[in-house]
Chains A and B, each alone.
Chain A
């Protein structure tokens, strides 16, 4: 990172999920899932509806008992943490509030339970932009305001680890941009940030790493840039499209070549230079030759489609 001013460091804790399986009656919500989440980065936890994201997070947080396997925060089970809210802040579904209780009172009972000074409550309400609504009953809150309150709840202990389940739901574009900045800043301070989503594009600009699951199982895991690189392709326009496509396929049968319109090809497994050389050797006329960013959303669909319910 190229930051010039030293950031106050808040050392994060790694999250580890080891061979986690959770069965609800006959449903295997999570199936032998293993992955780790390193500190200092934003990790996207992705998967289609019903993939098992929320269940995995609830296991991590000691709310759901795994059928088998282990889930560790900094090497310890959540229930063995000394000061859970100061170590891990989490926001799960948007609806975990009593509608008749004010936002301030909701955070107040949490602060009291966790030995956090009650003064921190107003501070964190201001951080999420709810200062003027702090005395209002949550039953009157909009979805976005509830999301913000959930975030305030996660931040109240100034935790080393932040776990957010679909935090962007119901946020307006300004709210999403603000959330993105906040998560980046927290990770830059060295904290661990894990954000779930069922839409890749929603977190694409925020996350460093991704963990993709479907049907309770791991599909892929790694830095987003690598995933993007694996998906990058080359756009070629040529009047002799079919000849070029044939040659590309013949030389490298494992590469993927797809036709687009009358004169275009999307090619992966070849660099622009390699295609240019081939075209030159075969005396093919080229009108365009350019790198294309990977279509991650399509990849995400492909990765998760085969196995989704």
Chain B
């Protein structure tokens, strides 16, 4: 893959204002989630619910620093992937793009790499936000930051990668549904509404074995956070499943883009 093409795709992303608007979203959403999970860890939720593990527990710390970062950022990664692809059709920049590079496979692969880079950037910013906000709450509650806690750095690294991979899911959805607004609605609705509902439904029907493999659920397993309900996949299996989804969606993007007429 030519470096110039990846650079071209990066220029596209960074030359409109969307990327930093989403970045602000990443910071805010992560800060809220990380601070909240640090604030409530180990407290008695009342109403007879079991108490969650305290701030010394490795899984709690992974939740505060890694899982909160992932769940605070991945939706924005998804959105930048969807708009990166649908924008080409909405504003017809697909025309000059394919004029410059008629081998469309190269365009989509470069676009995927550029978005992966930006998504990883979002992941890094999310992790930093989580360390700042979550760490602050942990300190305020009189605990140790717990940066040497087992499995923490693996979880943080995988959270960053997972955020990056969600841009590829977005690119795939964006090629499948070219209407930008529709694609964004579908992408966000599916991850925020449909997947949790399906997941609950599967859980209720004793099919949680299947539910584990849904995209968001499998992705959140990479940080091995405290289980909210049901079992998650082991971290490595979650990473593999997410990698599979990313490759699948990116491949669909390539396959559809190559065939289509650009009118």
Residues of chain A at the chain B interface (Cβ within 8 Å): 24, 54-55, 58, 61-65, 78-79, 81, 84-85, 88, 90, 92-93, 95-102, 105-106, 108-110, 112-115, 153
Contacts and interface: CB of A to CB of B under 8 A. Distances in A.
Contacts of A62: 98, 102
B3 to A, nearest CB: 9
Contacts of A99: 91
A265 to B, nearest CB: 48
Nearest to A96: B92
14 contacts: A58-B263, A63-B263, A84-B102, A85-B100, A93-B92, A96-B96, A98-B93, A106-B93, A109-B9, A109-B97, A112-B4, A112-B7, A112-B8, A113-B8
Contacts of A88: 99
Contacts of B18: 100
Among B2, B17, B97, B261, the most chain A Cβ lie within 10 Å of the Cβ of: B261
A110 B100 contact: yes
Nearest to B2: A115
Nearest to A63: B262
B261 A64 contact: yes
B113 to A, nearest CB: 13
Considering residues B12, B16, B100, B261, which has the most beta carbons from chain A within 10 angstroms of its beta carbon? B100
Interface of B: 2, 4-5, 7-9, 11-12, 15-18, 87, 91-93, 95-103, 259, 261-263
A211 B27 CA distance: 58
Contacts of B7: 112
A105 B15 contact: yes
A121 to B, nearest CB: 11
Contact of B100 (A95, A96, A114): A114
Contact of A98 (B8, B91, B99, B259): B91
A90 B93 contact: no
B11 A105 contact: yes
A109 B91 contact: no
A28 B93 CA distance: 26
Contacts of B103: 79
A98 B11 contact: no
A148 to B, nearest CB: 15
Contact of B15 (A64, A92, A102): A102
Residue from the set A61, A105, A109 with the largest chain B CB neighbour count within 10 Å: A109
> A-B pairs with the 3 shortest C-beta distances?
A105-B15, A79-B102, A113-B8
Contact of A85 (B11, B15, B99, B259): B99
Contacts of A79: 102-103
A96 B95 contact: yes
Contacts of B91: 95-99
B99 A61 contact: yes
Nearest to A91: B96
A54 B92 CA distance: 14
A88 B98 CA distance: 12
B262 A98 contact: no
Given A64-B261, A113-B4, A115-B4, 4 more contacts: A58-B261, A96-B91, A96-B93, A98-B16
B5 to A, nearest CB: 5
A83 B101 CA distance: 9
B4 A84 contact: no
Contacts of A105: 11, 15
A113 B93 contact: no
Contact of A110 (B8, B17, B262): B8
Nearest to B7: A112
Given A63-B262, A64-B261, A96-B93, A113 B16 contact: no
Contacts of A96: 91-93, 95-96
A63 B95 contact: yes
Given A98-B16, A109-B8, A112-B4, A63 B98 contact: yes
Nearest to B261: A64
B99 A63 contact: yes
B97 to A, nearest CB: 7
B88 to A, nearest CB: 9
Contacts of A85: 99-100
Nearest to A98: B91
Contacts of B263: 24, 54-55, 58, 63-64
Nearest to B91: A98
A100 B93 CA distance: 12
A113 B95 contact: no
A97 B93 contact: yes
B174 to A, nearest CB: 15
B101 to A, nearest CB: 5
Contacts of B259: 65
Contacts of B12: 98, 101, 109
Contacts of B101: 84, 113-114
Nearest to B262: A63
B99 A108 contact: no
Contacts of B8: 109-110, 112-113
A24 B260 CA distance: 12
A108 B262 contact: no
